[in-house]
Amino acid sequence: MDKTLLMRKEDAYQLNTYKKFPLVLVKGKGMYVSDADGTRYLDFYGGHAVALTGHCHPKVIAALKKQLDKLLFYSNVAYSDIRAEAAEALISAAPGFGKVFFCNSGAEANEAAMRVAKKFTGKKGIIAMKGGFHGRTTGALSATGIGKYRTGELLSSVSFAEFGSIESVKSLLAPDTAAIILEPIQSMAGVNAAGKGYYKGLRELCDSKGIMLIFDEVQTGFGRTGKMFAAQAFGVAPDIITLAKGIASGVPMGAVLLREKVAKTIAYGELGSTFGGSPLACAGLKATIEVIADEKLVENAYAMGMYIKKTFSGMKGLVRVRGEGLLLGLEFGHDVSGIAAALLKENIIVSTSEAKNVLRLLPPLIIGKTHVDTLHRAMEKVLQDGH
């Protein structure tokens, strides 16, 4: 397999909007992915937090193959056995939520969530957070608080508060405020989290003003923070939770979880998605939920997150480890792009962030201590080399 030829071919035909690793990935298993040249990489990036159950988990692959042999696709115009089972499994894993709307991505889920909030409240205003990222479609991008992504025609009904500051949110409240939307942990901004009092304060504020609270759990959901949902980790019950990324272990899928009181206000035809809740995606979702439960991956995410914090404590140049569970940011006192590049040469994939001094770790939830130890040794070597 000619790696260079494949890279040139992709560059020739795909729109040049992605800055890519110099890899042609052709295979994955567990915590590892393999390049076209045969090199194997330890994956602490997970395809941007997507490989929750690891690459090509055998139970997930078996479920997908079984579904492929039965029915590849039919839309929501008809009922589906696997969609019914997947929806039941998801709602059962999400205490307090009564209904789910299936779609294809996090951006689509966030668009739908904001529309639902506006319908429920009869208002139009949205308060989002500086540093938040919610997707690249017009509505989702309008609620994204990272400047470099805010291009094109955006909605004027969104205002931005300082993440972590209740007073900042209060200063933006208006009679027309319909919802507050936030990532409970801001991943792309550098893995920013606030104290539990902040999230509880948002809940109390929303209750007192008749405002919907939306948690974008596209990256924090499904066990990554050491709880099934970050809302549980912070002791808060949002009105709406949005999901995507790894919920079907790599098959494209998004979902919006709604409380019954909110779901009752949505009528036929007000939301829709041709491929949302496809049989294949639902097979992936159901299998993913089963693997997470059977292999106790939520508990493992918590334990491994604590192990990473303990193992990396005192590392040269490391200021602190941000985040919860397996959504972590290694904060250094300098630019970390050189560290990421050097780790790639050590056959380890990590992620940078919008905070130039923060490396992100978004590994599969199947990670073990040996993988953490491998990363630690490689990072010590890289830092000793002056990166």
More confident residue, 53 or 387: 53
pTM, rounded to two decimals: 0.97
What separation in angstroms does the CA of 250 have from each of 33, 35, 46, 134, 220?
A: 14, 18, 10, 19, 16
pLDDT score recorded for residue 94: 97
Report pLDDT digits (tens) over 239-254. Answer: 999 999 999 999 999 9
Residue 108 CA from chain centroid, whole number: 13
What separation in angstroms does the CA of 119 have from each of 116, 124, 134, 270?
A: 5, 9, 20, 10
| Rounded Cα gap, residues 127 and 177, in angstroms | 7
- The pair of three-digit structure tokens given for residue 344, joined into one six-digit string: 């790639």
Count CA within 13 A, CB hemisphere, residue 297.
25
* Cβ neighbour number for residue 245 with a 10 Å cutoff: 28
For 110, residues 6+ apart whose C-beta sits below 8 A from its C-beta are 134, 135, 139, 140, 143, 181, 214, 216, 218, 242
| Rounded Cα gap, residues 131 and 186, in angstroms | 7
Residue 374 predicted with pLDDT over 90: yes
pLDDT score recorded for residue 50: 98
By CB neighbour count within 10 A (0-12 exposed, 13-18 middle, 19+ buried), where does 274 fall? exposed
What separation in angstroms does the CA of 66 have from each of 4, 69, 180, 263?
A: 35, 5, 41, 32
What separation in angstroms does the CA of 182 have from each of 54, 148, 223, 366?
A: 27, 18, 18, 27
| Rounded Cα gap, residues 23 and 135, in angstroms | 25
pLDDT score recorded for residue 151: 85
pLDDT score recorded for residue 153: 83
For the chain, which residues make up each domain, given as ranges? 70-294
- Fold classification of 70-294 is Aspartate Aminotransferase; domain 2 (3.40.640)
pLDDT score recorded for residue 135: 97
Q: Where are the beta strands (DSSP E) in the chain?
A: 25-29, 32-35, 40-43, 99-103, 125-129, 158-161, 177-182, 185-186, 192-193, 212-216, 240-243, 254-258, 318-324, 327-332, 348-349, 358-361
Amino acid at residue number 324: E
Report pLDDT digits (tens) over 71-115. Answer: 999 999 999 999 999 999 999 999 999 999 999 999 999 999 999
pLDDT score recorded for residue 324: 97
From the list 237, 262, 232, 225, the residue with the least C-alpha distance to 113 is 262
